[in-house]
Amino acid sequence: MVKSNALTLARRPRRNRRSAAIRHLTQETRVEIDDLIQPLFVREGRGAPEPVKSMPGVFRFSVSDLVRECRDIHNLGISAVAIFPCISPKFKDERGSYALSPDNLLFRALAAVKKEVPALLIIADVALDPYTSHGHDGLVDPQGDISNDETVNVLAKLAVLEAGAGADWVAPSDMMDGRVGAIRKALDRAGRIETGILAYSAKFASSYYAPFRDAVGSSKSAGTSALDKRTYQLNSANTREALLEARLDEEEGADVLMVKPAGPYLDVIHQLRSQTQLPIAAYQVSGEYAQIHAAAQKGWLELEGARDESLLAIRRAGADMILTYFAKDVAANLRKKN
């Protein structure tokens, strides 16, 4: 029966929201376990995992514990991890020499994980900031500037060594000009034609990286968590420049393009989606993760709701895959629901 005061409306969008079953059927965007990549930190030595104070629930693992963590992650259905080394200060110098050392912690970690969890896709970071005493992603010339071409030569060698150690994808995060092309050529020359390149194509000079720098120790190298990287990382105000960087990476042979950070740059993800046929990754960075946890600890946000909404927004913007420190928890929750 029609109520006497009912409006005459042909379209009532609320009909598609009136029950959980309808809302589920009409949902346009979902975050699935297959969309998630778990970033992980590895350190030297043994002993219990070390908590990262600014990132609740995140730890630095020994190599043996990293292997166990990767096995657990894979058993949850997550298909990829990104591994970042926390290098002891005694191995750091201005040239980042330890990056190419056969004893590099990262190489040992990659090899151990690939041996024990061979089906897990391993992504290795290609940058010098974990290894340099000054904390920059590249080599510093006598004038105090980052030497682009000299840095690229080192990064190409690092990428080949990472591939040899077990990395399925190498991920240049340095934002040097021409590094994707140089890495692709170096991999091909080394017979690593199957190794993919996940390019940090639009990596912005962001304030959201501070907890990550604490996790890997690069802020301690520089004496500050606010190290100025604006001569190579993108201006936060520039969208067209970000799209140009992504196009150049695609032309140079990148297999996947990444936007980092994710949440503050949803517009960049969305515009990039309309301009490329390549898969797009987005990195929900340490600061995004930490602020959700901090607000939840204050009682200002509900943790799971804010977490899940933030990831939905990244997928809705156009990202095919998300690097997020929430990956393991989200996967566990999705497994329970299914």
User: Strand, helix or coil at 52?
Assistant: coil
Contacts of 235 (CB under 8 A, 6+ apart): 204, 205, 241
Half-sphere exposure of 88 (CA within 13 A, CB side): 9
- Cα separation, 178 vs 245, whole angstroms: 10
Q: Which one of 92, 114, 229, 260 is the catalytic residue?
A: 260
**Block residue for tokens 């990202």:** 319
Neighbours of 10 (CB within 10 A): 4
Q: Are the CB atoms for 269 and 283 separated by under 8 Å? A: no
Instruction: Kindly state the tokens that stand for 220.
Output: 């301690």
- Cα separation, 266 vs 207, whole angstroms: 16
Q: Are the CB atoms for 169 and 195 separated by under 8 Å? A: yes
Query: In terms of C-beta density within 10 A (0-12 exposed, 13-18 middle, 19 or more buried), how is residue 107 classed?
Result: buried
Distance of CA 283 to the CA centre of its chain: 4
- Active site (annotated) includes residue 203: yes
The one-letter amino acid at 149: D
- Active site (annotated) includes residue 114: no
Q: Are the CB atoms for 181 and 252 separated by under 8 Å? A: yes
Length of the chain counted residue by residue: 338
Q: Which one of 114, 203, 229, 328 is the catalytic residue?
A: 203
Q: Which residues are catalytic?
A: 203, 260
